[in-house]
Amino acid sequence: MTDARLDELLAPGVAADDVPELAPLLAARPLLAAFSTLFHGSEAEVLMRLMVLREIGRESESPRWSPEQLRQRFAFLDPVKLETALRRLRGNGLLEIGDDSHYALSDIGRNAVAAIGMLLSFGTEDDLELGFLTAQLAGLQAVGSVTPEALGHLLGKLNDLAWHFEDAIASGSEFRIADARRKLSANMRWIEKGTQVLRALLADPEVPFELARVAQRIGLAQSRLARVDAAFQRALNKIEAQRVTLGGSGISSSDVARWLRGLDARALAGLVGDALAPAPETVFLAGGHELLDRAELAMSEDARRMEADTALPPAEDAPANRAPEQEDLRLLQHFSQRLARLTEPGAEPATLARMVAGGGFPSASYRLSLLALLADGGDGGPTDGPIGEFMRLPLDVLFDAATEAVGEDEIARMSAGLVGARGSLPAPETVPQLDALPADADFDATQSPAA
């Protein structure tokens, strides 16, 4: 990490002091040199250095080791390799040696061992990173040294988890969704712990604005993750609805897919050996009618000519002066004229059967429905035209709960009642006037033999 080496990595004309991003790393050169010592070389050498350093730091009651104690403790190592590792750790400031030739961890060495120990403690978790970042944030919050960078690391991990879960849902794979759901369940305690840390951080009225801004974004990301479990359940329900059961065996398509995923490549190749062709095999399937249609087109000169004829039909003039279609209200107008006779002076009220019958069941049903509408008073009806004139007839309609026999005009029985000029009908003695009487409820219709 010499300046000359950095100058070789930087662009021409750029000095290391001119790069703000390098400033904190250059200031931490001793710590970085310690980690470089630990992790430089082959994997076997790295493992041996880490093991020696961790075992020296594990002894808390008597943290100083004599050379003889170290040789006894690491008797399973080659003495020359052990001496080389101790010299390397001591030469880069991870170990200290006193005047009595006893070894002990330096401050940098103990910090390195503690950091590595924390990482290893999370190694058995489903998600090492979120647990480590949350624990680190909790420790920084406890000592009052939370930094925006530490919060940013946690925010980045939460957003990465949200993207991973949404991608699993979008894939539609039952197995990916199940794995993502297990991962979410394993990390829920770290999400809840992070929520507690954020609440304590935001409860401080003196918290810096930059910390508060990142903390609020972390809270939003945690809320998204809390809602993901419901999305997982909806996706699994949709997959469950599409699952296919193989006959009455109780084996579903998911069971088959799980079994196939457990096979190695050689077993899968054996299963599909006779099922796949090296080239697509074209198969033409057609029914007799389809073949006959195609044969007729190929053999008939007239059919081919009609098929090839793409000329437009001759032009025609649009019909002129065509009157718009109107609703046929002749039956309504005729019925209005019949009812108007009841409004003349001296006219007696007439029974419903007398006024309604005539023209068969459909016409009688139509008239009775008009009388029911007239009995309602016609509120909100049209004011113009034949319908409006009908609704303004000064008539009263009285429906009775009893029925009377008709026996003609396709009507067996119908509701009893009276129609008369306004104020000429007696007060009802049985059931009050019906508000709205459906046509199919007023008739007991039977088709006559003639019909």
CA angle 372, 377, 378 (to 5 degrees): 85
* pLDDT of 49 higher than 50: yes
Residue 148 burial by Cβ neighbours in a 10 Å radius (0-12, 13-18, 19+)? middle
* pLDDT of 11 higher than 80: yes
Question: Mean pLDDT, to the nearest integer, of 89-110?
Answer: 84
- What are all long-range contacts of 361-366, with beta carbons under 8 Å and residues at least 24 apart? 361/409, 361/410, 361/411, 361/443, 361/445, 363/331, 364/409, 364/410, 364/411, 364/414, 364/443, 365/439, 365/440, 365/442, 365/443, 366/331, 366/439
Indicate if the alpha-carbon torsion angle 122, 125, 130, 131 is positive or negative: negative
Range from 169-173, 219-223, 288-292, 442-446 carrying the lowest mean pLDDT: 442-446
* pLDDT of 43 higher than 80: yes
Tens-place pLDDT, residues 407-431: 887 888 888 888 888 877 776 654 4
Question: Mean pLDDT, to the nearest integer, of 399-407?
Answer: 84
Question: Mean pLDDT, to the nearest integer, of 393-417?
Answer: 85
The band of 436, judged by pLDDT with boundaries at 50, 70 and 90, is very low
Angstrom distances, CA of residue 256 to CA of 61, 162, 178, 242: 58, 30, 16, 14
Going from the N-terminus, what domains does the chain have, and what CATH number goes with each?
3-121 (1.10.10.10), 128-242 (no CATH), 330-444 (no CATH)
The predicted pLDDT at position 18 comes to: 79
The predicted pLDDT at position 433 comes to: 43
The band of 214, judged by pLDDT with boundaries at 50, 70 and 90, is confident
Residues 6+ apart with CB under 8 A from 451: 360, 410
φ and ψ at 219, to 5 degrees?
A: -60, -40
The predicted pLDDT at position 383 comes to: 61
Question: Mean pLDDT, to the nearest integer, of 362-371?
Answer: 86
For residues 343 and 423, the answer to whether their CB atoms sit within 8 Å is no
d(CA 224, CA 155): 12
The predicted pLDDT at position 341 comes to: 86
φ and ψ at 91, to 5 degrees?
A: -70, -20
* pLDDT of 7 higher than 80: no
Tokens of 222: 């945690």
φ and ψ at 350, to 5 degrees?
A: -115, 155
The predicted pLDDT at position 370 comes to: 85
Range from 132-146, 218-232, 436-450 carrying the lowest mean pLDDT: 436-450
Amino acid at 414: M
The predicted pLDDT at position 442 comes to: 46
Q: How many residues does the chain have?
A: 451
Range from 113-127, 385-399, 409-423 carrying the lowest mean pLDDT: 113-127
**DSSP per position, 299-351:** H-HHHHHHHH--PPPPP-PPP-SPPPP----HHHHHHHHHHHGGGSTTPPPEE
d(CA 32, CA 95): 15
Per the prediction, the chain carries an average pLDDT of 78
Q: Is 414 helix (H, G, I), strand (E, B) or coil?
A: strand
Question: Mean pLDDT, to the nearest integer, of 359-373?
Answer: 85
CA angle 265, 267, 273 (to 5 degrees): 100
* pLDDT of 282 higher than 70: no
Tokens of 149: 């960078």
The predicted pLDDT at position 284 comes to: 62
* pLDDT of 140 higher than 60: yes
Tens-place pLDDT, residues 157-175: 888 888 888 888 888 888 8
**DSSP per position, 32-82:** HHHHHHHH-S-HHHHHHHHHHHHHHHH--SS--B-HHHHHHHTTTS-HHHH
